[in-house]
Each structure stands twice: as C-alpha cells, then as structure tokens.
Structure 1
Amino acid sequence: MSATAHSNLHRNAWTDWWEGSRRVDIWWTLAWFDIVLRYRRSLLGPIWLTLSMGVMIAGMGPLYSALFGTELSRFFPHLALGVIFWGLFSSIVPDACHTFVNSSHYLKQGYFPITLFVWRSLGRNIIQFAHQIVLYVPVALWAGISLSWHVLLFFPAFLLLLVNAHAIGLVLGLVCTRFRDITQIVTSLMQMLMFLTPVFWLPENLPGRARYVLWNPLAQMLDLLRTPLMGGMASVHDWLGILCWTVVSIVGASLLFVKYRRRVVYWL
C-alpha cells in the first residue's frame, strides 16, 4: 500500500489530473450524497431549491420591470435566466474556495488525486442548477419565447463554463487552502460583481461610458448562456472574450497544479 501511494505521489501532473477526472463514478456519487445529506429529513428535499428560486423570481419580476419601465413579458425571462445562472456562478466560485478544506478527511487518510474533489464540487453545483433551470420552461411559455437554431449555441457555451469552472476550482482550491483569508476576499468580490453583471438590469439601459462593465467575464459568460435561450445570438465580442479568458484560466490552473498539487495535504 505504501509503495502504491509513493508511486502515485510521484506520477506526472497529467496522469494525476486524468486519474481524478476519469473516476466519474466516485466524484458524481460524492456530489449526489452531498445533496442528499444537505436535505436529509426534509419533506421536499432538493425541490426546495426550485421553490425558493421560483418565489424569488416571481416576486422580483413585476417589481423590477416597473422600476426599469420595461415590458414584463420581455424583462421577466431576462431576469429569470439571470438569477438562475448567477445562482450557479455564485455557488461554483465560493465552493471552489472550500474544495480541499471540506475534503480534508479524505486527503489526510490516503492518496487521492485532488482533481477528484474539484469535480465533486462542480458536480454538486450542477445538480443544484438542474433543479433550478426547470423554472425556465414555464417562464418561456408564458413570455412566448420562440426558439431558433441559435439555442444550440447554449451547449458549447455551457461546455466553456464547465472548463472555466474546473480551472478556477483548481486555482481557488489551491490558493484558498494555502491562504484562508482569500476566501473572504472572493466572497466579497462576488457580491460586488453581482451588481456589475446584467442580472437584474438590461445592458441597453447603460449609458455609453458605463459599458465597460460588460467586459466583466461573468457578464460575457452570462450573455453566452442566456441569449440563446431567449431566441437570440450572443455577440462575437463575448465569444472572443470568454475564449481568451478560458486560455488564461487553463494556463494559470495548469501552472499551479503542476507546482503545488503535492502540497495540499500539508496545508490542511
């Protein structure tokens, strides 16, 4: 057993990443049990995720539509998808900060590829998102959204989201395990970015000089995901911005992973 652990610790970074990523049976089961344990002894279980999000959207829709002077049938889908996708963003990023800290009992007991726990965190958030995206269906039917072939662009956009989420999960997992104060900074930053991202407001309502906020990667990612589901097509500017951000996040995650992956257990 010790010989196996010794050889595992000295394998190359690619093999280490692949070993954790390919064990879908393990990290998906762990993610599912995280959800089950969170709602243990609850009558409705994860359905509370859907109900709480639905109540919030239903309450905010008419109010914000009146505040911004926008027709409800046009604003309501924009708000609903914005809140749903922001809920995914705002759960992925803080969870990434606690990825290895919350899995310390596994990492201290024996060798596990650390990517296994990054996928576990991401899988848990995907399960929560699946319970919330179903709210899009009644909203789309009520608003009379007519979908075109542009809706297929949602799938490459979601794939880009997963790639970035995994890379950011590695970066934040490593950095926040070593420097615990970074978690508080990331949490505060996400709260600020919520207001700089067109979740509750329409981008066209911005004055010309304020449009720089749309360079925010989360705003670009939101546009790639939301626009196809509203019958439109995201701008080329947003696609190029996210592709550039994806390259940066993969390179940054790779460098940190290669250098520090073996030190995680000593930081716990």
Structure 2
Amino acid sequence: MSEAHSNLHRSAWGDWWEGTRRTDIWWTLAWFDIVLRYRRSMLGPLWLTLSMAAMIGGMGPLYSSLFGTELSKFFPHLALGIIFWGFFSSMVTESCNAFIGSSNYLKQGYFPISMFVWRSMARNLIQFAHHIVIYIPVALWAGISLSWSALLFFPAFLLVLVNAQALGLVLGLVCTRFRDVTQIVTSVMQMLMFLTPVFWLPESLPGRAQYILWNPFAQMLDLLRAPLMGGVSPAFNWWGILSWTAVNLVLCSLLFAKYRRRVVYWL
C-alpha cells in the first residue's frame, strides 16, 4: 500500500496526531507568514507592539473618564482586555480560512489538515507574544502586585489553546464548504466584542444584565485577566469554560472524523 493511500485511510485520531507532531512544518510556516507580512519593513513585527500600544494608550484615559473610573484601576483592565480580545478574535476569524489559505499545499499532496489549523494558531501566538509585553509597563505603572494566583493563568491559557484547536477545525471545515460562513463569523465576533467586558467593567452591569457574562468569551477573558491583575476568577467561570470545552471537543471530533477527507474537494 502506498504511503498516500495509507495516510488517507488513517483514523481520525492518527490524522490529527500526525499533523500535531509536525511542529517543524507548521511552526516554520507560521514564522514565515509573519516574516513575509513585514518584509522590507524597518521595524518588522515590532509594528504589532507599537500599534497595539498606541491604541491602548489613546483609549485608556478616554474610557476611564467616560466611565468615571480611576485610571490606575481601569488602564490594566482595558489593556489586558484589548490584548486578549485581539488574540481571541484573530484566532477565530483566521481559522475560517485555515484550509482555504493553504489550498496550494493540500492540492499538491497529502498533508494532515490539523497541521494548517496549528499553523494559524502559531501565527497568532507569535502576534500575541508581541502584544503581551505591553502589559509589563502598564502593570508596573498601575502598581499591580502578583501573588501565587497568577499561576492560574497557565491552565486558563491551556484551555484557550484546546478550544482554539477544536473550534479551528470546526470553522475550517464549515467555512471551506460554505464560504459565506466566514462573513457571518466575522460579524458575530464584532458584535461579541461589545458584549464582552473588554472596554467596560463587569461590575458596572445592572443585575438584570448579568446574563451577558455567561458569554464563553467573557468567561475566558476573566480567567486570563483576573490572575494578571492580582485576583482570582470565580469558580463558575471555570465550570462554564470546562463545559464549553467538552461540547467543543465532541463537536470537533464528530465533524473531523466525518468530513476531513472531503476538504481537498471543497477547495
């Protein structure tokens, strides 16, 4: 049996693992995506940091005045909100084109499709690494003192990656088959940005509007932001995200097992 034939008949788990373990391929592709995007630029990827810092620096004093909140409290809240939301949004929207943007590879030979979702995730992780450094001067200026609770950031971030991989496979499959879904996802993410406490404080909500915080993006944002601000996220956020992760993984497993071989015919 030829290698291509055996690969096409590999189990869904084997197909996913084959793409996951090839870090040498998808990480290199992601790195060159960033390099090519900023080719011939003097500052290169540092423009990511500068543009994000300029936006946070401009919005912080303005929104603090609008909401009547002390700047030293609101500024780190806003900075982390914008940084993490940019990470969430780009991770979701770019996963819609994970297979479409890699059609030249998929049409020329066998590649595990999970590899191209990892490529999209790695590209966004590189961008996130350029953005998160902005938090350091903001935290120093605001006088944030971290405790052992800051270590909760790491399991929360691991949950983000698990959900990003599962949702990336789902959206990659669906958007490759139905191209209009990409526009729907983009519009939904724009709407959710205002329904998630990125620019506003959760305690400013009236009691009857607290259901907005059931939004999984709001729960995930709090899991990541609270430890970096010296606090601890409530337990219901952990249970909410764990439930969402379970649903996400089940949906991903079903769609991936059934439709992964059809991607190349949809391109």
What residue ranges of structure 2 are gaps of 5+ in the alignment? none
- Counterpart Cα distance in 2 of 1:12 and 1:173: 19
Q: After the TM superposition, which residues 160-175 of structure 1 pair with which residues of structure 2 at under 5 Å, given as runs?
A: 160-175=159-174
Q: In the TM superposition, what whole-angstrom CA distance separates every residue of 1:160-210 from its partner, at most 9, and x where no partner exists? A: 000000000000000000000000000000000000000000000000111
Residue 93 of structure 1 corresponds to which residue in structure 2? 92
Q: Could you tell me how far apart the structure 2 residues matched to 1:123 and 1:201 are?
A: 29
Q: Which amino acid aligns with 2:158?
A: L
Could you tell me how far 1:47 is from its partner in structure 2?
Answer: 0.2
Shift of 1:122: 0.2
1:179 paired residue number: 178
Output the CA distance in 2 between the equivalents of 1:18 and 1:74: 44
Please state whether the residue corresponding to 1:244 is helix, strand or coil.
helix
1:11 to 2:13 alignment: no
Identity %: 78
Matched, 1:133 2:125: no
Question: 2:13 & 2:184 partners in 1: Cα distance?
Answer: 30
Q: Does 1:239 align with 2:238?
A: yes
Give how far 1:46 is off.
Answer: 0.4
Cα distance in 2 for partners of 1:50, 1:11 equals 42
* TM-score (ref. length: structure 2): 0.99
Which residue is equivalent to 1:152?
151
Q: Distance in 1 between matches of 2:133 and 2:91?
A: 19
Which ranges of structure 1 fall in alignment gaps of 5 or more residues? none
Query: How far apart are 1:143 and its partner, in Å?
Result: 0.1
CA distance in 1, matches of 2:110, 2:129: 31
- Give the paired residue count: 267
Question: 2: CA distance between counterparts of 1:124 and 1:185?
Answer: 23
CA distance in 2, matches of 1:209, 1:136: 32
Which residue identity does 1:35 align to in structure 2? Answer: I
Alignment of 1:106-125 (within 5 A): 106-125=105-124
Q: Distance in 2 between matches of 1:217 and 1:42?
A: 37
The amino acid across from 2:155 in the alignment is P
State the Cα deviation string for residues 123-178 of structure 1 (Å, max 9, x = none). 00000000000000000000000100000000000000000000000000000000
CA separation in 1, counterparts of 2:97 and 2:206? 38
Q: In structure 2, what is the equivalent of residue 67 of structure 1?
A: 66
Shift of 1:3: 1.6
Distance 1:44 1:90 in 2: 24
Query: What is the alpha-carbon root mean square deviation over aligned residues?
Result: 0.6
User: Offset at 1:64?
Assistant: 0.2
The Cα shift of 1:96 comes to: 0.6
3-state SS of 2:100 partner? coil
Normalising to structure 1: TM-score of the pair?
0.99
AA paired with 1:195? F
Alignment match, 1:228:
227
Query: What amino acid maps onto 1:214 in structure 2?
Result: L
1: distance between equivalents of 2:21 and 2:7?
16
SS in 1 for 2:2: helix
Partner Cα separation in structure 1 for residue 207 and residue 14 of structure 2: 49
- Paired residue secondary structure (1:103): helix
Provide the residue aligned with 1:190 in structure 2: 189
Q: CA–CA distance in 2 between the matches of 1:153 and 1:3?
A: 47
| In structure 2, distance between residues paired with 1:266 and 1:97 | 17
